[in-house]
């Protein structure tokens, strides 16, 4: 219950801050010549309306933190069995942090090298690293799997859908 | 053009070989996605959306609808065989279906699930064909104030019905609407909330948000768990899957009740397949002569839950096609698909694009038949997908999702945006903030703002326009009643009392 209240209050505070930021940014939006010719609300009016709604809702959430209404979304009690019998096992806290951080770093590196190394090279290499570091797969199996997935995605997107994927050294050429 | 004549016209379009092929592709891809555990219909439809690019609109929409239906079917398979719901709407199927599987009755459970889904889906589509044109005629009378208030009402209903805290749901919606204000204002040309970042000037495409919030966030959440290989896979013969006479006697009543109730709930914004399955299960248990048997493997319960899912899926198309208002995350993605194809769902769809809408409705009949034909003999083949180790599946999904986000603008910057929304989606799940309302806000935010501004332009800035028009006032009254009722429920029946007793 403490955790629910804390979580609700974190959400309320974040949304409150977001509302203030939106409000301040909105009143600073300049009105162009086109906007001054218009009747009705100006450019920043709708975001201000949203900011007011966020303010009201975030304050309400802060006050009612931890409370939960009866919801049709609440599953019948028999559904607990499904969760208890679930075969996915939660990792330890340190393992989770390591896996999440590794994933985020890998994705960042992938996006950085993608325009330079091209889709096939970067996906094969980073895909293999993904499998090795996060799932402890064998190097050969990881490279092969990543390569096959790259080929499959290339066939679907580049050849099947006609969507050009980043080519090798594309960023340097352009 | 109305009624039977319109439907016949629709069949002429849907039965074209190319459209039959798209329907087939859609249901196959959708079923595969539905079978994959953890990838629900929202994620599945979002990441498969790029497959529809470059096709003519009718065919692309037929494929999208097939994906939607297929994903609903596929989710029940893993529920029954492995107690792993493919998506939240299949949780109650897992409860009863897995117990049947443990008793050696997996095959008839799968069979009844497919047949019940087919019957309910077919009747749901008949009801859709009947009701949708009538609602479209009424909706033609809506102006910007009516639409704006209807949208606010829809947001409130979605937040009330599909979340356990309406305030969090509304916060999620408003945050989603805010995302649509990022970029250049289409009416005045002013840049809003771009903070000098060139990549944000054109705004953030919906599909990037959807892929980030659902696909990427799902992968991140699953990284916190290990995934042992699934149990030994069985194969079935079609004959084994056909229900017995006793199964039929147990199931026909639940199928009929679930179809009617499922369709009605599906029509409501927020009344998605998940809620429908819980309500229908609870109803069947309460009227059953043997409620104590529920939870031990009741085939009638499997039939009712799966029937309700498909009836609700058909019902969800009513507000989507007639008003352009999706009632769930999945139909929100479908709406985005419509828009990407240059089709604006709403009352004028029936007038200006009868070929599209009736072709789509007719293809849903055909897709329903295809799913029954596919699911019975090919189920053993579909579940072989589960032989794939989770790491390979995860890598494929993440790469496919990344490319889906890239395909929108061919801009690497959008991948960073998708990753941002993936992290945001992960944090939202940890803090128990619902995601589908945010998706709804992103899809409908543009329409909400344009109706807001047009309304205030009509009234020369007076907000009274929303109160002076009867329909918009009606929607506002429904909104206020929903809010007030929900807040009373939260304050009176919330968990604060149990917290106080724990403390003392």
d(CA B351, CA B133): 10
Per-position DSSP letters for B384-424, written without gaps between them: GGGGS-HHHHHHHHHHHHHHHHHHHHS-THHHHHHHHHHHH
Instruction: Return the minimum-mean-pLDDT range out of A7-11, B59-63, B172-176.
Output: B59-63
Mean pLDDT across B145-163: 86
Residue B34 pLDDT > 60: yes
pLDDT tens per residue across span A103-141: 999 999 999 999 888 899 999 999 999 999 988 889 999
- Give the chain A residue nearest B393 (alpha carbons): A149
How far the first Cα of chain B sits from its last, in Å, is 69
Q: Has residue A39 got a pLDDT over 60?
A: no
As a whole number of angstroms, the distance between CA B367 and CA B69 comes to 8
Evaluate if residue A18 carries a pLDDT over 90. yes
Using a CB-CB cut-off of 8 Å, the residues of chain B touching A130 are 395, 398
Cβ–Cβ gap A134/B391 under 8 Å: yes
Query: Which residues lie closer than 8 Å to B347 by C-beta, 6 or more apart?
Result: B136, B137, B138, B139, B140, B142, B322, B323
**pLDDT at residue number B335:** 85
Buried b (16+ CB within 10 A) or exposed e, B372-406: bebbbeebeebbebbeebbbbbbbbbbbbbbbbbb
Q: How does residue B374 score in pLDDT terms, banded at 50, 70 and 90?
A: confident
Instruction: Indicate whether A33 pLDDT > 70.
Output: no
What is the band of B204 on the pLDDT scale with cuts at 50, 70, 90?
very high
Look-up of token digits 């969507």:
A163
CB-based contact A131:B23 (threshold 8 Å): no
Q: Give me the residues paired with residue B184 across strands.
A: B191
Instruction: For residue B407, give the nearest of B169, B154, B207, B232 by alpha carbon.
Output: B207
If you average pLDDT over every residue of chain B, what do you get?
A: 83
Q: Do A90 and B193 touch (CB under 8 A)?
A: no
Indicate whether B393 pLDDT > 70. Answer: yes
The mean per-residue pLDDT over the stretch B41-64 comes to: 79
> Measured between CB atoms, does B407 come within 8 Å of chain A?
yes
B464 touches chain A (CB under 8 A): no
Mean predicted confidence (pLDDT) in B362-367: 85
Among B295, B391, B502, beta carbon nearest to A135 = B391
Between residues A169 and B338, the one the model is more confident about: B338
Residue A38 pLDDT > 90: no
* B499 has a pLDDT exceeding 50: no
Note the pLDDT of residue A131: 92
Contact B161 A73 (CB under 8 A): yes
Band (A21; pLDDT cuts 50, 70, 90): very high
Q: What is the DSSP string of B286-342?
A: HH-S-GGGTTS--HHHHHHHHHHHHHHHHHHHHHHHHHS---SHHHHHHHHHHHHTT
This prediction's pTM = 0.84
B189: Cβ contacts below 8 Å, ≥ 6 apart: A32, A34
In contact, B52 and B341? CB cutoff 8 Å: yes
| Average pLDDT for B313-325 | 86
Asked if the C-beta of A159 comes within 8 angstroms of chain B's C-beta atoms, the answer is: no
In angstroms, the first-to-last Cα distance of chain A is 56
DSSP A157: I
> Is the Cβ pair A68, B53 closer than 8 Å?
no
pLDDT at A45: 87
Please tell me if residue A42 touches chain B, with a CB cutoff of 8 Å: yes
A82 and B453 in contact by Cβ < 8 A?
no
Least confident of A32-36, B86-90, B271-275: A32-36
Q: Which residues contact B503 (CB under 8 A, 6 or more apart)?
A: none
The Cα of A173 is separated from the nearest Cα of chain B by a number of Å equal to 16
Q: Pick the residue of B399, B405, B411 with the most A CBs within 10 A to test the interface with A by mutation.
A: B399
Which neighbouring-strand residues pair with B192? B183
Q: Angle at the Cα of B38 (from B36 to B43), degrees rounded to 5?
A: 90
CA distance B354 to chain A (A): 27
Find the largest Cα–Cα distance for chain A. 66
Contact A132, B221 (CB under 8 A): no
- Name which residue leads in pLDDT, A38 or B281: B281
Residue A132: per-residue pLDDT: 92
B136 touches B325 (CB < 8 A): no
pLDDT tier at A170, thresholds 50, 70, 90: low
Q: Which residue among A35, A99, A127 sits closest to B395, beta carbon to beta carbon?
A: A127
- Contact list, A138 vs chain B (CB under 8 Å): none
pLDDT at A47: 93
Instruction: Collect all residues of chain A within an 8 Å Cβ-Cβ radius of residue B175.
Output: 15, 18, 54
Q: Which positions 412-431 of B are in contact with A (Cβ < 8 Å)? A: 412, 415-416, 419, 423, 430-431
When mean pLDDT is compared over A93-97, A142-146, A166-170, B311-315, the highest value belongs to A142-146
pLDDT category of residue B498 using cuts at 50, 70 and 90: very low
Summarize the confidence of residues B115-131 as an average pLDDT. Answer: 87
- Give the model's pLDDT for residue B496: 41
Phi-psi region of B183 (alpha: psi -120 to 50; beta: other; left: phi over 0): left
Percent pLDDT > 90 in chain B is 17
Inter-residue contact B93 to B306 (CB < 8 Å): yes
- Indicate left, alpha or beta for A100 from its phi (over 0: left) and psi (-120 to 50: alpha): alpha
Question: Would an 8 Å CB–CB cutoff place B53 in contact with chain A?
Answer: yes
Smallest Cβ–Cβ distance between A50 and the set B174, B294, B494 belongs to B174
At B173 the pLDDT is 93
* Contact residues, chain B, for A113 at CB < 8 Å: none
Q: What mean pLDDT is predicted for residues B202-210?
A: 88
Q: Rounded CA gap, B221 and B299, in Å?
A: 33
Per-residue pLDDT at B502 exceeds 50? no
Mean pLDDT for the stretch of residues B150-175: 87
For A49, the enclosing helix (H) or strand (E) is helix A45-63
Does A69 sit within 8 Å of B493, measured CB to CB? yes
pLDDT of residue A103: 93
Report whether pLDDT(B245) > 70.
yes
Model confidence at B57: pLDDT above 70: yes
- Inter-chain touch A76–B92, beta carbons under 8 Å: yes
Q: Please check whether residue B220 is in contact with residue B423, taking contact to mean a CB–CB distance below 8 angstroms.
A: yes
Residue B12 has pLDDT above 80, yes or no: yes
B380 confidence band (pLDDT: 50, 70, 90): confident
Residue listed under structure tokens 């896979």 = B233
pLDDT tens, residue by residue, B184-197: 887 788 888 988 88
Stretch 84-143 of chain A: residues touching chain B, C-beta under 8 Å: 85-91, 96, 99-100, 103-104, 107-108, 110-111, 114-115, 123, 127, 130-131, 134-135, 137
Q: Please check the confidence at residue A51 and state whether its pLDDT lies above 80.
A: yes
Task: Kindly tell me the burial class for residue A31, based on how many C-beta atoms sit within 10 Å of its own C-beta (0-12, 13-18, 19 or more).
Answer: middle
Residue B364: what pLDDT?
A: 84
Which residues of chain A make contact with B177, given a CB cutoff of 8 A? 50
Q: Are A137 and A145 in contact (CB under 8 A)?
A: yes
CB B275 within 8 A of CB A75: no
Q: Identify the pLDDT of residue A111.
A: 93
CB contacts < 8 A, A to B, total 264
How distant is the Cα of B413 from the closest Cα of chain A, in angstroms?
9
Percent of chain B topping pLDDT 70: 92
Report ipTM (2 d.p.): 0.87
Q: Does B181 touch chain A (CB under 8 A)?
A: yes
pLDDT of residue B359: 85
B167 near A CB under 8 A: yes
**Do B109 and B101 form a contact (C-beta atoms < 8 A)?**
yes
**pLDDT surpassing 50 at residue A19:** yes
């Amino acid at each position: 219950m403490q955790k629910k209240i804390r979580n609700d209050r974190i959400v309320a505070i974040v949304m409150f801050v977001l509302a203030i930021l939106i409000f301040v940014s909105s009143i600073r939006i300049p009105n162009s010549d086109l906007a001054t010719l218009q009747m009705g609300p100006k450019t920043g009016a709708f975001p201000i309306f949203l900011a007011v709604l966020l303010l009201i809702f975030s304050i309400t959430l802060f006050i009612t933190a931890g409370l939960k209404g009866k919801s049709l979304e609440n599953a019948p009690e028999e559904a607990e069995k499904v969760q208890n019998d679930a075969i996915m096992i939660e990792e330890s806290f340190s393992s989770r942090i390591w896996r999440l951080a590794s994933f985020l770093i890998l994705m960042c590196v992938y996006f950085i090298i993608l325009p330079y190394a091209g889709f096939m090279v970067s996906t094969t290499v980073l895909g293999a690293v993904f499998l090795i570091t996060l799932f402890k797969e064998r190097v050969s199996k990881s490279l092969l799997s990543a390569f096959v997935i790259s080929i499959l995605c290339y066939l679907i997107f580049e050849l099947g859908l006609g969507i050009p994927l980043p080519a090798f050294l594309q960023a340097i050429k352009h | 053009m109305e009624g039977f004549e319109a439907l016949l016209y629709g069949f002429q379009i849907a039965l074209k070989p190319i459209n039959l092929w798209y329907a087939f592709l859609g249901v196959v891809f959708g079923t595969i996605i539905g079978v994959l555990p953890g990838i629900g219909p929202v994620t599945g439809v979002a990441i498969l959306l790029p497959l529809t690019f470059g096709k003519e609109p009718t065919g692309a929409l037929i494929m999208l609808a097939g994906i939607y239906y297929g994903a609903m079917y596929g989710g029940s398979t893993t529920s029954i065989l492995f107690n792993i719901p493919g998506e939240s709407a299949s949780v109650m199927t897992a409860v009863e279906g897995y117990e049947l599987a443990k008793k050696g009755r997996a095959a008839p459970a799968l069979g009844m699930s497919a047949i019940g889904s087919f019957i309910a889906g077919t009747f749901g589509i008949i009801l859709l064909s009947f009701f949708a044109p009538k609602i479209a005629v009424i909706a033609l009378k809506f102006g910007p104030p009516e639409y704006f208030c209807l949208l606010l009402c829809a947001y409130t209903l979605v937040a009330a019905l599909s979340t356990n805290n309406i305030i969090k749901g509304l916060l999620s919606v408003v945050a989603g609407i805010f995302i649509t204000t990022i970029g250049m204002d289409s009416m005045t040309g002013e840049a809003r909330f771009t903070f000098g970042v060139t990549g944000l000037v054109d705004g953030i495409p919906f599909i990037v948000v959807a892929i980030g919030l659902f696909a990427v966030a799902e992968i991140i959440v699953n990284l916190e768990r290990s995934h042992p290989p699934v149990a030994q896979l069985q194969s079935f013969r079609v004959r084994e899957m056909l229900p017995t006479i006793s199964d039929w006697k147990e199931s026909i009543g639940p199928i009929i009740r679930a179809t009617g109730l499922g369709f009605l709930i599906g029509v409501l914004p927020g009344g998605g397949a998940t809620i429908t399955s819980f309500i229908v299960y609870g109803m069947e248990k309460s009227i059953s002569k043997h409620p104590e048997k529920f939870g031990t493997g009741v085939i009638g319960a499997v039939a009712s839950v799966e029937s309700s899912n498909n009836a609700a899926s058909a019902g969800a198309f009513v507000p989507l096609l007639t008003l352009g208002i999706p009632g769930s995350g999945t139909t929100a993605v479908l709406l985005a698909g419509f828009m990407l194809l240059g089709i604006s769902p709403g009352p004028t769809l029936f007038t200006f694009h009868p070929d599209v809408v009736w072709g789509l409705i007719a293809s849903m009949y055909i897709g329903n038949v295809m799913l029954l034909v596919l699911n019975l003999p090919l189920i053993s083949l579909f579940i072989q997908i589960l032989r794939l180790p989770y790491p390979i599946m995860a890598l494929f999904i993440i790469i496919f999702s990344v490319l889906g986000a890239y395909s929108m603008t061919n801009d690497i910057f959008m991948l960073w945006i998708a990753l941002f929304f993936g992290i945001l989606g992960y944090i939202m799940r940890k803090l128990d903030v619902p995601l589908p309302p945010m998706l709804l806000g992103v899809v409908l935010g543009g329409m909400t703002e344009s109706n807001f501004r047009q309304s205030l332009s009509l009234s020369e800035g007076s907000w009274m326009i929303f109160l002076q028009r009867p329909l918009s006032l009606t929607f506002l009254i429904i909104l206020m009643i929903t809010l007030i009722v929900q807040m009373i429920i939260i304050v009176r029946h919330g968990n604060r009392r149990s917290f106080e007793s724990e403390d003392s």
